[in-house]
Every structure is written in structure tokens, then in C-alpha cells.
Amino acid sequence: MLDHVELLGFAAAFLTTIAFIPQVVQVWKSKSTDGLSLTTYLIFVTGVFLWFLYGLNIGSLSMIIANFITVILALIIIYFIIKSKK
Amino acid sequence: MLDHVELLGFAAAFLTTIAFIPQVVQVWKSKSTDGLSLTTYLIFVTGVFLWFLYGLNIGSLSMIIANFITVILALIIIYFIIKSKK
């Protein structure tokens, strides 16, 4: 069974991962990325990818899965930002 | 000395923390939060706060500092989103 601290980490990982779903939905529906900072998402996706590599290194499945999903969501947002700037 | 894996974690924490600075600057300068999902930032700040608590629990200073800064940055963005919706 998970102890309280690991449960906290799991809840944290779950929230910081699903957090970007409403942003993806909003960008997808509105096709508008006004106000979204491309620099923020580029730095963020790089950082999250490093968290993913960190998870691989320490063998943490929850970190691997959570950060993999966040990378995908952030890449979708980046795609729309770059597309809308053209 | 930090080993390679901890250096990776440090770089990841650094990037996912500073990532939100350009977004704060952009929102601050433009006073516009069009396109930013409030739901995303509310879920995100909750998740990051849980990461902060997780850091406290496991006694990880880098997690405590990184997530504390990210909470502050996310709260500034949330403040501007709510203010602009009024």
C-alpha cells in the first residue's frame, strides 16, 4: 500500500498533469493562442522532458507516465501557438 | 557533489520553475490574459502546492524552493486572469 507521502506525490503528479487538459481544449476549440507565452511553453516542455528522464533514471513509473503525458499536452499547445503565429 | 541524476533533477526543477516567468511578464505587460485557461492554472497551482508539501515531507530543499516559486508565479497569473474576467 502507498504511504501518505507517496499518496501526496501521486495526487500532485495527477493534478500537475491533468492541469493542461483544459488549456489544450480551450486552444483547440478557440484556435486562439493569444496571451499564451511560447517561451514559457518551450522552457516548460524542456523541463518536463528532463523530469521524464529523471523518472527513467530513478525508475519511478508515476514520474515517467505523468511527465510523458504533460510533454504531449505541452507539445500540442506549442504546435497551436507556432501555427497561430504564422 | 551532485551525481548526474540529481543534476538532471536540478535542471528539470530549474526549467519548470523559470518557465512561468515569461508568462508572468507577458500578462503583466499586456494586462491581457485572453487565451489563458483559469481552470488549468487553478488545477496546476493546487498540484504544485502538493509538490511543495511533498518536498517538505521528504525534506527535499530543491523541491521546496522550486515549487514555492512556481506557486507564487502561478498565483500572479491567476490574479491577472480573475481580474481581467471582472
Quick: pLDDT tens for B48-82. 999 999 999 988 888 899 999 999 999 999 999 99
Angstrom distance (rounded) from CA A76 to CA A68: 13
CATH number of the domain where residue A21 is located: 1.20.1280.290
Q: Chain A residues with CB-CB distance to B under 8 A?
A: 5, 8-9, 11-23, 25-27, 30, 32-37, 39-41, 43-44, 46-48, 50-51, 53-54, 57-58
Compare CB distances from B50 to A12, A26, A50 and report the shortest one's residue: A12
Check residue B1 and give its pLDDT: 56
| Residue A85: count of CB within 10 angstroms of its CB | 8
In whole angstroms, what is the distance from residue B35 CA to residue B41 CA?
A: 12
Q: Work out how many domains chain A is built from and give that number.
A: 1
Domain span at residue A10 reads 4-85
Give the model's pLDDT for residue A1: 56
CA B53 to chain centroid:
14
Cβ atoms of A15 and B50 closer than 8 Å? yes
The region, left, alpha or beta by phi > 0 then psi within -120 to 50, assigned to residue B2 is beta
Q: Which amino acid is at A33?
A: T
User: What separation in angstroms does the CA of B2 have from each of B36, B66, B84?
Assistant: 37, 17, 44
- 10-residue mean pLDDT profile of chain A (86 residues): values are 83 95 95 92 97 91 92 97 88
Contacts of A81 in chain B (CB under 8 A): none
Q: What confidence score (pLDDT) does residue B57 get?
A: 92
Taking contacts as CB-CB distances below 8 angstroms, the residues of chain A near B60 are none
Query: Which amino acid would we find at residue B9?
Result: G
